Amino acid sequence: MKAAAFDYVAPQTVAAALDALDAEGEARILAGGQSLAPLLNLRLATPKRLVDIGRIAALRRIEDRGDHHRIGAMVTHAAIEDGGMALADHGMLAHVAAGIAYRAVRNRGTIGGSLAHADPSGDWPSALMALDARAVAAGRAGEREIAIRDFLRGAFATALEPGEMLTAILLPKLSAAARWGYYKIVRKAGEFPEAIGAALFDSERRRARIVIGALGSAPLPLDNLAARAAEKGIEAVALDAVEAALREAAPDLDRIALRHHAVAARRAILEALAP
């Protein structure tokens, strides 16, 4: 299928991009196009105007900001996979990036596009939530920071207001003691996952996160379980315990989905905590 007719602009700056985004939501940002282009072609999305942010050099940068890195929204999965820049994340982002679809998709797909798209089965929403990252949203009134937890509102729903765009992700640096795990269950190579588990334990920074993804809604943090795991170790988070915590947090999951998500989380925890 072919997309319905639209105007196309490719501004060079964020300010120009914001100008091109009218507040009524008739314009849509085009990043890597890996989610948007199919939506356009299937005519599930029929924006009047596409604002291609691919020419805005500032959005492609990764900057060291002391206690965190600022990753431009247009940084591609492939750039993160290739790891040109040390991120103080113990390789977690590169690992997650390498597991997204296949290289052709990663060459164009962007971390910002993925987060703004907020597909429940997408990798970045779960991974960035586990990392306590923050989203930077720019609008006419300036920039604001939003914790990923608050940014992701549900399936394909974010805290971005009409006329706002995502410009960067702020990634806190991990301490040397940090350990992470990331596991997804896929039925077939290259498919979107059936279940995602992400785990992060940073004892020095007193952070413990377990996040369940691919639920059909926004990723689900299991903070109590994470705290227990951090405190008591692997034994405290046997599969039964993970399943129980998840059942409580997501009572609607059927038996098999519950099992798959619990196992994904459990494997991520094991990766992170195994000696």
Partner 1 sequence: MTRLLEPRAIGMPLERLDGHAKVTGTAPYAFEHALRDPLYLYPLEAAIARGRMTAIDTAEAEALAGVVAVMTPRNAPRLAADDDQELWLLQSEGIHFRGQLVGAVIAQTPEIARHAAALVRIAYEAEPHDAALAADRDDLYKPEQVNPDYAADTDEGDVEAALAAADVAIDATYTTPMEHNNPMEPHTTVAIWEGGVLTLYDSTQGAHSVRTTLAPVFGLAPDKIRIIAPYVGGGFGSKGTAHAHDVLAGLAAQMVPGRPVKFALTRQQMFWLAGYRTPTIQRIRLGAGRDGRLTAIVHEVIEQTARFKEFAEQTATSTRIMYASPNRRTSHRLAKLDVPVPSWMRAPGETPGMFAGEVAMDELAVACGLDPIALRIRNDPAADPQSGKPWSGRKLVECLREGARRFGWDRRAPNPAARREDGWLVGMGVASSTYPAYALPGSRATIRYGEDQRYVVRIGAADIGTGTWTALTQIAADALGCPIEAVRLEIGDSALPHASVEGGSSGINCWGSAIVAAARAFRGQHGAAPVPGAEIGAEMPEDPEAQRFAMHSFGAQFAEVRVNADTGEIRVPRMLGVFSAGRIINPRTARSQFIGGMTMGLSMALHEESVLDPRFGHVVNHDLASYHIAAHADIGDIDAVWLDEVDPHSNPMGSRGIGEIGIVGAAAAIANAAWHATGIRIRDLPITPDKLLA
Ligand X SMILES: Cc1cc2nc3c(=O)[nH]c(=O)nc-3n(C[C@H](O)[C@H](O)[C@H](O)COP(=O)(O)OP(=O)(O)OC[C@H]3O[C@@H](n4cnc5c(N)ncnc54)[C@H](O)[C@@H]3O)c2cc1C
Give the footprint of partner 1 on this chain (CB under 8 A). Answer: 1-2, 185, 187-191, 194, 239, 255-256, 259-260, 263, 266
In whole angstroms, give the CA distance from residue 230 to residue 272.
Answer: 10
CB of 271 to partner 1, least distance (A): 13
Q: Which does 239 bind (CB under 5 to 8 A by kind): ligand X, partner 1, none?
A: partner 1
Among 72, 112, 181, 219, binds ligand X (CB under 6 A): 112
Q: Examine residue 144 and tell whether it contacts ligand X (CB under 6 A).
A: no
Q: Which residue in this structure is represented by tokens 């993160």?
A: 80
Helix and strand numbers, DSSP H then E, in the chain: 11, 14
> Alpha helices, DSSP H only, in the chain?
14-20, 36-41, 77-82, 92-98, 103-108, 111-117, 123-130, 148-151, 223-232, 239-249, 255-273
Contact region with ligand X (CB under 6 A), list: 114-122, 206-214, 231-239, 250-258: 114-122
Question: Residues 16 to 35: which contact ligand X by CB under 6 A?
Answer: 28-35
Of 12, 41, 46, nearest to 28 (Cα)?
46
Contacts of 35 (CB under 8 A, 6+ apart): 109, 113, 114, 117, 119
CB of 239 to partner 1, least distance (A): 7
Q: Which does 30 bind (CB under 5 to 8 A by kind): ligand X, partner 1, none?
A: ligand X
CB of 213 to ligand X, least distance (A): 9
Kindly tell me which of 1 and 141 has the beta carbon lying closer to partner 1. 1
CB of 110 to ligand X, least distance (A): 3
Region at 83 (left for phi over 0; alpha for psi -120 to 50; beta for the rest): left
Of 137, 135, 125, nearest to 163 (Cα)?
137
Q: What is the DSSP letter of 102?
A: -
Q: Examine residue 174 and tell whether it contacts ligand X (CB under 6 A).
A: no
φ, ψ for residue 109 (rounded to 5)? -65, 145
In whole angstroms, give the CA distance from residue 131 to residue 105.
Answer: 23
Among 123, 132, 202, 243, binds ligand X (CB under 6 A): 123
Q: Which does 189 bind (CB under 5 to 8 A by kind): ligand X, partner 1, none?
A: partner 1
Max Cα separation, the chain? 58
CB of 15 to ligand X, least distance (A): 14
Contact region with ligand X (CB under 6 A), list: 60-68, 115-123, 142-150, 246-254: 115-123
Kindly tell me which of 28 and 70 has the beta carbon lying closer to ligand X. 28
Q: Which does 113 bind (CB under 5 to 8 A by kind): partner 1, ligand X, none?
A: ligand X
